[in-house]
Amino acid sequence: MKTYLLTGAAVAALSIGAASAQDLSGQVITVAGPWLSPESETIAKIFDIFEEKTGAEVKYVGSDSFEQQIVIDAEAGSAPNVAVFPQPGLAADMASRGFLTPLKPEVGEWVKENYAAGQSWVDLATFADKEGADHHYGMFFRADLKSLVWYSPETFEDGGYTVPTTMEELKALTEEITANGETPWCIGLGSGAATGWPATDWVEDLMLRTQSPADYDAWVANDLKFNDPKVVAAIEDFGWFARNDAYVAGGAGAVATTDFRDSPKGLFDSPPQCYMHRQASFIPAFFPEGTEMGVDADFFYFPAYAEKDLGKPVLGAGTLFAITNESEGAHALIEFLEDPAAHELWMAEGGFLTPHKGVDTSKFSSDTARAMNDILLNATTFRFDGSDLMPGGVGAGSFWTGMVDYTGGKDAQAVADEIQSSWDALK
């Protein structure tokens, strides 16, 4: 067994560097995260690779109350070695309380060089410690993509429409479809108690297409006030699509009341109720049964303005690994995530996107996943879902309700003023 482990380590040293080739025999690394079955089985297989290469043992515990449990464990001094955070807000909070350990400097340098839009991923995982000093704390592993527009290739072909590559072209296409007597968009904000959240994604995507990444970051941190003219302009840009009765199936009045899960179905009606639907990579789960991707439905990148010269920004989400109880094995496990094999295993299982530029994209389980990942790899800027980073009372509160009010006809400036007031009240 020992000989096997050392042989595996030697191979690893040749393929991925010395970090993951350490002999960690006898060490136990505990990991906690939000993944339950079937994701927990997949991450266990990935940890098996690490175990074979190092001799360490990884014990993973998933919980649907991870966000509460990790805080309890940290406060009690019994945190796992590594925690998998579903979004960086909680990780930032724990870093500020001294519960996270900075990663080795070479990890951040590796991410800058080997992840598409690498600086963005480092920035997203850089938080202030108890003294207010910034450190790189997290390694993102598994990304989600939100900047997508879904459509039916057949109806596009029948209408003589082509996929737009700039926001100017997307708006021109919207006007062209309307001029032809058709309805370009299906938009639905309904989501029970969470009604309004799909509009926050629209506004976030448009902030990244009208303002700099620095402005986006300042907005999320409220250093740029929510009622700043830059933010109001992004809201009104969303309104260009959503508040025009001719542009939306059912008229603007139906936007807030249409359930987001039902909203894309108009793409598949005959005749179609709409031609385009902006939504994240998960939405095919709500397409009609039997929908064949690439034939009945496809997607394109929600494009940037050519005139703004802001590159190809991408809005998304992702999980990050951070060290909550430092050990040699914890650092080695984080560095193991640089190994393409860790990504490729989950790529083959499905439901996994990665900004890692070194993976073999033939390993993706489908052409659809590969095409989505291409958007991620071509991103010049990546930013996390802003509402998930804002205080809950705003990001999961006044921002949601404000967007419902806005699509209902309320003035954008008035909506933004109210959201800022709610943020001020939380300080």
Number of H helices, E strands in the chain: 18, 11
Q: 16 pLDDT exceeds 50? A: no
Confidence of residue 17 (pLDDT cuts 50, 70, 90): very low
Q: Region 148-152: what's the mean pLDDT?
A: 98
Confidence of residue 290 (pLDDT cuts 50, 70, 90): very high
Q: 9 pLDDT exceeds 50? A: no
CA distance readout (Å), 399 to 72, 173, 221, 384, 422 = 29, 29, 14, 16, 9
Looking at domain 148-315+387-425, its CATH class is alpha beta
Distance CA 222, CA 231 (A): 11
pLDDT of amino acid 262: 96
Confidence of residue 22 (pLDDT cuts 50, 70, 90): confident
pLDDT of amino acid 321: 98
Mean pLDDT score of the chain: 93
pLDDT of amino acid 10: 34
pLDDT of amino acid 427: 86
Distance CA 141, CA 148 (A): 21
Q: What would the pLDDT profile of 301-357 be if each residue is shown by its tens digit?
A: 999 999 999 999 999 999 999 999 999 999 999 999 999 999 999 999 998 999 999
Q: Evaluate the omega torsion of the peptide bond into residue 271 and state whether it is cis, within 30 degrees of 0.
A: yes
Q: What would the pLDDT profile of 178-214 be if each residue is shown by its tens digit?
A: 999 999 999 999 999 899 999 999 999 999 999 999 9
Burial (CB < 10 A; 0-12, 13-18, 19+), residue 72, is exposed
Distance CA 176, CA 179 (A): 5
- In this structure, whether the domain defined by 29-145+317-383 belongs to CATH 3.40.50.720 is answered with no
Report phi then psi at 77, rounded to 5.
Answer: 75, 20
Q: 376 pLDDT exceeds 90? A: yes
Report phi then psi at 389, rounded to 5.
Answer: -100, -15
Q: 409 pLDDT exceeds 70? A: yes
Start-end ranges of CATH 3.40.190.10 in the chain?
Answer: 29-145+317-383, 148-315+387-425
Q: Region 134-147: what's the mean pLDDT?
A: 96
Q: 78 pLDDT exceeds 80? A: yes
DSSP three-state, residue 367: helix
Give me the amino acid identity at 402. G
Q: What would the pLDDT profile of 110-120 be if each residue is shown by its tens digit?
A: 999 999 999 99
CA distance readout (Å), 244 to 179, 240, 278, 371 = 13, 7, 16, 31
DSSP three-state, residue 377: helix
Q: 230 pLDDT exceeds 60? A: yes
Distance CA 82, CA 330 (A): 6
pLDDT of amino acid 21: 65
Q: 86 pLDDT exceeds 90? A: no
